[in-house]
Chain A
Amino acid sequence: MRYALYLGCTAPVRAMNYELAARHTASRLGIELVDINDFGCCGFPLKSVHHQSALLLSVRNLALAEEQGLDICALCSSCTGTLAEANHALQGDAELRERVNEELEATTGRRYNGTIRVRHLARILYEEVGLERIRQAVTVDLSGLRLAAHYGCHYLKPIEAHDGFDDPENPHSLDQLIEALGASSIHYEGWDQCCGGGILGADEETALALPHLKLERAVAAGADALVVICPFCDIMYELQQRRIEKMYDTRYNLPVVFYPQLLGLAMGLSADEVGLPLNRVKSRKLMEMAR
C-alpha cells in the first residue's frame, strides 16, 4: 500500500497532531505515505468564486500524483471531496478532460490522464487495512470510552465522488473503525450536522452556531470525546470551543480527537507519537490510556 499523502492547507499548520498520528499509524499498518512538495490548495475555496480556476487547481494536484504513479490518500475531508469530484468529472467526460488538459498544459506544463483514485485516510483504513487487521493491532484497551463520531460532510458527499462507499444518511465506516478499537461509538442527536467551517469566514456568528449545537448535543449524550477526521471540523469544534463557550455562556470542555490519534493510542503508540500534547482540550482519560 503506497499513496501520495495529500496534506492540504489546514492540517500541516493547524492540525499537526492529526498529521503526526496519521503518519505513525499508517507506517505501523504497512501504508507507505509519499510526500509531494508541489501539491497546493485543492481548489475548494475557489469553487464559490471561479469554477474553472478551482477545477484547474484540483486537476493540477491529480496530475502531480499521477506522475508518481500513486493514488491519493487525503487527510482533510474537503480536500478529499474536492479532488474526488474533479476526478469523477474528468474520468467520466473525455471532452472535459481534454479541455482542462489543454489549459493545464499551457499554464503548468502538466497533463492528467484520469488514472488515479482519491480517497480519505479513514476510507483507506476501512477498505484496505480492514477492521480485522485493526482489531488485531490493538494492544491497549479503550473499552469504557464513549465516543461521538463526527463524519463531516465531504468524507461522504457527494456520493458519486466517493463511489458510494458509505451511506451519508446512515453511515457506518467511522463507527466501526471506532468500535474496532474496543471503544463505544455512541448515538447522539445531530450526529450528521455540518461543522459550519465553510462559512466561518463569511459569517462567524452564524458559523459558530453550528458547532455550538453539536457540542451541546454530544455532551448531553455523555460523550468522553468527539472523534473527527477533518482538520477543519477540528478548528470548529476544538480551536473555537472556548469562543463558543463564551458566546453562549456555557462550558463544554469536550475533548476533540482525530481518529488516527485514537488508533495510535490503541496500538500502543506514545502520547507524543499521536500528537496528544497538541490537543487544546485535554482529555485525562486519553492521557491515562497513552503509554
Chain B
Amino acid sequence: MDTVIDASQMDPTLADQIAAEPGGEHIRRCFACGTCTASCPVREVTEHYNPRRIIRMAVLGLREQVLSSDFIWLCSTCYSCYERCPQDVRITELMHAIKNVAVREGYIHPSFRMQVDLLRHHGRLYDLTEFENERRAEQGLPAITEQAADFGKVFVATGLDELIQPEGEGA
C-alpha cells in the first residue's frame, strides 16, 4: 500500500454514508487510539487486517481502497474491540456497516455471496436433506425439514434479492 495518500482521491462523503448505515453511526468518534488493533485476534495472526487503519481510511474517504478491499471481510466478529473501545465506536457493527455499503456498491466476497444463495434455497447454511435426516435418525434425533419459503420472500422485500441475484441469473 502507498505510504503517501493522494488527497485528490479522498471522498469525505464516504464517512457520512457509513454513518447513515445501522451500526456505522459512531464512526467519527474514533480518535485512532488503536485499542481495537491491539485487541484484535485476527491482527495477531496477519498484518492484512488492521481495524484502526480501516477506520482511518474510511474517515479519510479512501472509498475504492476500502470498499473493494479483501481486508474488510476479515473481521471475525469477536467483539473484543467493540467492548474495549473507549470511544464506543462499536467497531464490530461498524465493520458490518462498511461491508453493507461495499455490497451495495457491487463488492461482495464470494464466500458471502455463496451464503446468501444457501439461505435463499435452503433457509440454512448447511443443507438438511434426506441423507442428513437419515444420519440424525440413526442417532435417535428428530427429522428437520427445510423451510426456505420465507427467506425468498424476505430477500425480495428488502431488496437483497435484487442486489445479489441468484447464481447464474445475475451479473
Contact = CB atoms under 8 A, between A and B. Distances in A.
B76 A197 contact: yes
A103 B158 contact: yes
B109 interface: yes
Contact of B96 (A10, A48, A53): A48
A210 B42 CA distance: 7
Contacts of B23: 51
A247 B92 CA distance: 29
B32 interface: no
Given A53-B155, A209-B46, A213-B44, A199 B74 contact: yes
Contacts of B82: 157-158
Contacts of B134: none
Size bracket, chain A contacts: 35 or more
A69 interface: no
Contacts of A10: 125-126
A108 B154 contact: yes
Interface in A193-242: 193-194, 196-199, 201-203, 206-207, 209-210, 213
Interface string A85-115: 0000000000000000001001110000000
Contacts of B164: 49-50
Nearest to B116: A49
Given A41-B125, A210-B45, A50 B160 contact: yes
B65 interface: no
Interface residues of B, number: 65
Given A12-B128, A40-B124, A199-B76, A53 B41 contact: no
A213 B141 CA distance: 34
B73 A199 contact: yes
Contacts of A201: 109, 111-112, 114-115
A13 B128 contact: yes
B42 A51 contact: no
B103 interface: yes
A213 B45 contact: yes
B112 to A, nearest CB: 5
11 contacts: A19-B141, A41-B123, A45-B125, A47-B77, A49-B103, A107-B154, A153-B77, A158-B92, A203-B74, A206-B48, A213-B45
Interface of A: 7, 9-10, 12-14, 16, 19-20, 23, 35, 37-41, 45-53, 56-57, 60, 103, 106-108, 153-154, 157-159, 168-169, 192-194, 196-199, 201-203, 206-207, 209-210, 213, 275, 278
> 5 nearest interchain CB pairs?
A201-B111, A157-B79, A198-B76, A194-B78, A209-B45
Given A194-B76, A202-B74, 7 more contacts: A12-B132, A35-B142, A45-B119, A52-B158, A196-B76, A203-B73, A206-B48
